[in-house]
Every structure is written in structure tokens, then in C-alpha cells.
Amino acid sequence: MDLRKKAESYKIDPTWATFDPVPVLSTPTYGEMSAPALVKQLKIVSQKDVKQLAEAKELAYKEGFYNGTMLVGEFKGEPVQEVKNKVRGSMIAKGVAFAYAEPEGLVISRSADECVVALMDQWYLDYGETQWRADAERCDLFFPSESFELISYYEVCLPG
């Protein structure tokens, strides 16, 4: 509701905030509109009520997934838990959606650096796999470096 009341302060076109939510699932606890029910239950008055909003999100997601029933689309009447992946696949196949993922919060590496994270079709090396290690050690014979530091680093990456 903050968007409707303060569209100008959020620098959005006020007409963007005039659309009402459309129910897509129903739950026994919150009915067809979980958000308004949880806003009232948790006494949320602003988007700055971060703690209550996080709790509302958790409650809505759990209730919707485990107890929700679809209200629209080709899977209408079916449990959300059973059709979540089917809905995703159907929407991607129709070209109205694409796979997307992002971390829930800040990601920090073991070296205490802030990470930029991307979901990619990526593979990982199994450093303990014997054939890979033998191939890597064979490459060491052709390692064109006179740098003791570089060679030492290479050997550290292939622990014995």
C-alpha cells in the first residue's frame, strides 16, 4: 500500500500502483489473499517493518507451498506442492517465463570478501579424482615457468 500512497516518493508512475492483486492460490489459513491477512495479523503498517515482513514472507511461502491449492491455470484445483515444477516448466515452455535465481542475501566468501553470485551451467573439478590428478601432474612436466613461487603455488593446488 506504500506504493499507492507515496508513488511520487518512490519515483514511479502512480497508475502502476492502481492494479489490485490477483489470487492464484488459496490456503486454509489465509484464504485467497495471504498478504492482506498477514499484514493485518502481524500489524504491518509500512514496508520499513522489515522484521514483520520477513516473518510474513516465511509464513505465506510455507502455507502456500504445503497447504495451498491452485486457483487458476491448467493446474487449477491441484496442490501447489505437487504442481510447482509443472507450472514452472509449462511457463518456460510457453515462453512467458525464464529460469531465474538469486541469493536470499549478501554472500560472503571464506576470505571475508563480498561475492557477486550468478547461477550458471557450471562444472566443478574433483581434485581427489585419480585420473584428473595424474593428467594434471603430467602437465606439470611441461610447465614453462622459472618462477619458484608460481611452481610452488601450482603444487599446493595439487596436494599429495
3-state secondary structure 110-159: CCCCECCCCCCCCCCCCCCCHHHHHHHHHHHCCCCCCCHHHHHHHHHHCC
DSSP letter at 79? B
Q: What local confidence, expressed as pLDDT, does residue 27 receive? A: 98
Q: What local confidence, expressed as pLDDT, does residue 127 receive? A: 67
Structural domain spans, the chain: 2-94, 123-160
* pLDDT tens for the chain, residues 1 to 160: 677 888 888 888 888 888 888 999 999 999 999 999 999 999 998 888 999 999 999 999 999 999 999 999 999 999 999 999 999 999 999 999 998 888 888 999 888 999 888 777 777 767 677 887 777 777 766 566 666 777 777 677 766 5
Residue of 71, 95, 97 whose CA lies nearest to 83: 71
- Assigned fold of 2-94: Isoleucyl-tRNA Synthetase; domain 2 (3.90.740)
Q: Which residue reads 489465509 in cell numbers?
A: 30
Q: What local confidence, expressed as pLDDT, does residue 142 receive? A: 59
Q: Please give the model's pTM, rounded to 2 decimal places.
A: 0.62
